[in-house]
Amino acid sequence: MTKVKICGISKVENAQAAVDAGADFVGIVFEPNSRRCVGTEEAKNIIESTEIGNRAERVLWVGVFANQSVEEVNGIVEYCGIDVVQLSGKESPQYCAQMIRPVVKVIHIGLDADQVSLTEIRNGISLYEAAGCSYMLDTFKKGVLGGTGQVFNWDIAKVLSKERLLFLAGGLNIDNVSEAISKVSPWALDVSSGVESDGQKDSGKIYAFINKIRQIDSNGA
C-alpha cells in the first residue's frame, strides 16, 4: 500500500479528516516564514484533539522545520508529541543526527533537472542516509520550501525509487496521482496544495485524494 502524508494541516477538522480518511502521516509546519505555519500550542491542541477516539492504527505526526536551531526543533518535537521530523532547509547531515526523532530530509529538485543531475542527487542523498535519514524529493522553487504546487521531472524520481524508499512531493493532486504511482512507484506520497481550495485545506479534497490512492492500490485504476 502506498503511504500517504497530508501536509500543512492547521485546523483540527482537517486533521481529523486526514486521520479518518486513512492518512499514514499528518504534517504540521513550524517554519515561521511559511503561510501554513502553526504555533506550538495550536499544534499540540490539533494533535491531542485528533487522537481522541481515532482509529487503532495510529497516524504519525510529522513536524516540518527549516533552518531552525537544534534546540528549538527538539523542544517543539518533545512538547507537541511529534513522531517524525521533516527538515526542508539547508540542514547538514551532522545537524540531522542531533534530532531526537526519525528524520525525513527534503531534497529539492529543480524544474530543469534531468538525468544528468542524478549523480549529484545520489551523492547528496547518501550523505544524509549515512546520518540515518529517510528522504523526500520535492520541487525546488526559489524562496519556497514546500507546497509549491509544481511538479519536477518524475523520470529522476522513477530511477531513485528503484534504489531506495522515497517520499514523493511537489504538485501532487487527484488528477495526477495515478500517473505518479504508475510511473514512480514511491513508498509514500506527500500532498499539501493539492488538497486545498483558495489556499486553505479542504476536507473533501483530503478524502478524495486518499480514496483515489487506495483505489489505485487495490485495482490499479
CA distances from 33 to 42, 43, 62, 64, 68 (A): 17, 16, 18, 12, 11
Q: Which of 7, 80, 96, 133 is labelled catalytic?
A: 7
Q: Which three cell numbers stand for residue 69?
A: 536551531
CA distance 13 to 115: 41
Q: Which three cell numbers stand for residue 185?
A: 512507484
CA distances from 82 to 13, 27, 41, 77 (A): 19, 9, 13, 5
The yes-or-no answer on residue 80 being catalytic is: no
Three-class HEC string of 152-195: CCHHHHHHHHCCCCCEECCCCCCCCHHHHHHHHCCCEEEECHHH
Helix (H) or strand (E) holding 80: helix 70-80
Rounded to whole angstroms, the maximal C-alpha distance in the chain is: 49
Q: Which three cell numbers stand for residue 212?
A: 483515489
Indicate the angle between helix axes 177-184 and 203-219, nearest 10 degrees: 40
Q: Which of 24, 96, 133, 138 is labelled catalytic?
A: 138
The yes-or-no answer on residue 7 being catalytic is: yes
Catalytic residue positions, numbered:
7, 138
